[in-house]
Amino acid sequence: MTSVTSRRRTAAVLLGLAAVVLPAGCGGDGDGDRGGDSTEHAERAAASPRATVDVVATRLDAPWGLVTLPDGRVLVTLRDRAEMLLLDPTTTPAARTTLTGPGADALASGTAHGGEGGLLGVAVSPRFATDRRVFLYRTTDAGNEVVRAELDGTTLGALTTVVDGIPAASIHDGGRLAFGPDDDLYVTTGDAVGGDEAQDLGSLGGKILRVTQDGDPAPGNPFAGSRVWSWGHRNVQGIGWAADGTMFASEFGQNTYDELNVVVPGANYGWPVVEGRRADGAGDDPEHPPEAYRDPVVVWATSDASPSGLAVTTRAVYLAGLRGERLWRVPLTSGGVGEPQALLAGEHGRLRAVLEAPADDTAPADDTAGAGGRDVLYVLTNDTDGRGSPSADDDRLLRVAVAD
């Protein structure tokens, strides 16, 4: 691996009004989830812990999805190529294999790539050791869909459709997949530039879905017979869970606020009526009362974040920033969340995905975490997605050790 301290030293790290930490909750929820008791304004990002970076893999073409297999190898999806790479991070550089087989052929021939669509999220079954199932989110000519296939070595079996009918567009396609603590599959979707989709419970657009491995509504969903878990979303591309079961989601704003939300079943997060806090969007319209929507716990200016992937560790929530070109760390506290801390600002370009590395993963050699402990993460850069300024080695998979 190659150790990296900074790739873009000329970048200014003047964060300005970087983030606002807000109390969680929506009128009458009473669910006792994470969130502060008062609003805190962070005029500058809080002092950041030390982050040490190693380069695991280079020259990845528009990487998007990222997940580890039980044996520690890493699956990466390539959005525009509609290919899947299997990386071995224990070798230097990481040995890579492009998956083949009927599933790989079907991805290449049936995935529509353009704008923000293509081959996006990937998740591995909680029972992968026995069922070998891999789940993928992709764009087709008919819309976005979730498919599954069995992975045997480096061979991807035939695709089975799990969920279809998800609206697609050149932007706002959502696309993240993750299995929750309940072993159900969660799917994030975008509004496909149709804001009304997010407020329509009959549409799968602008939602977080919760389904079984066969794509049926998971038992216990908040709306009878529906796959919808939460609604009123513009474009969610990151989800994860704290040890206590709290679910977090990162969401792109339009022009004003990006969001970190605590997700509760059945909650409406306001888009397109509200962007950011209820007080900033909903007015006196009786059809859109502020108490109908749930506030985020943190908001950022869109230039500072544009958060895509998200990871939750025992210490913090991490968000990969595209426009912001930084990794945001939001500490978890006994009362909710603390002030956001900016890591890697301007050093590695656009960041697409972040994932906690396996517990036995080796941290960078010069890491000095000390007694406070550390988080070890995989981070995907995303300068080859058509909106960045790629170098010859882009894009890269990084291993980042964050010391408390």
Q: What average pLDDT does range 35-63 have in this prediction?
A: 72
**Does residue 108 have a pLDDT over 90?**
yes
pLDDT at 232: 97
Beta strand pairing call for 95-98 and 83-88: antiparallel
pLDDT at 159: 99
**63: enclosing H helix or E strand:** strand 63-68
Residue with tokens 């679910």: 247
Rounded distance, CA 271 to CA 196, Å? 9
* pTM of full prediction above 0.75: yes
**Does residue 288 have a pLDDT over 80?**
no
Q: What average pLDDT does range 253-259 have in this prediction?
A: 94
- Per-residue b/e over 277-290, b at no fewer than 16 CB within 10 Å? bbeebbeeeeebeb
Considering the chain, what is the average pLDDT of its residues? 88
pLDDT at 48: 79
pLDDT at 18: 59
pLDDT at 6: 36
pLDDT at 33: 43
**Does residue 299 have a pLDDT over 70?**
yes
Rounded distance, CA 330 to CA 34, Å? 12
pLDDT at 280: 64
Phi, psi of 393 (to 5 degrees): -95, 0
Residue with tokens 């500072």: 304
Q: What average pLDDT does range 354-378 have in this prediction?
A: 71
pLDDT at 360: 64
What are the chain's domains? 2-403 (2.120.10.30)
- Determine whether 404 is exposed, middle or buried from the number of CB atoms within 10 Å of its CB (0-12, 13-18, 19+): middle
**Does residue 192 have a pLDDT over 80?**
yes
Rounded distance, CA 275 to CA 254, Å? 7
CA distances from 131 to 69, 123, 138, 213 (A): 13, 13, 21, 11
Q: What average pLDDT does range 211-234 have in this prediction?
A: 99
pLDDT at 209: 99
Q: pLDDT digit string (tens) for 176-187?
A: 999 999 999 999
Residue 349 vs residue 370, higher pLDDT: 349
pLDDT at 41: 34
CB atoms inside a 10 Å sphere around CB 96: 16
Confidence of residue 39 (pLDDT cuts 50, 70, 90): very low
Q: What average pLDDT does range 319-342 have in this prediction?
A: 96
Q: pLDDT digit string (tens) for 14-27?
A: 344 457 776 543 33
**Does residue 208 have a pLDDT over 80?**
yes
**Does residue 164 have a pLDDT over 80?**
yes
Q: What six digits make up the tokens of 217?
A: 């509504």
Rounded distance, CA 206 to CA 264, Å? 15
Q: pLDDT digit string (tens) for 123-148?
A: 999 999 999 999 999 999 999 999 99
Q: What average pLDDT does range 268-275 have in this prediction?
A: 94
Among 169, 122, 160, smallest CA distance to 142 is for 169
Count of residues in the chain: 404
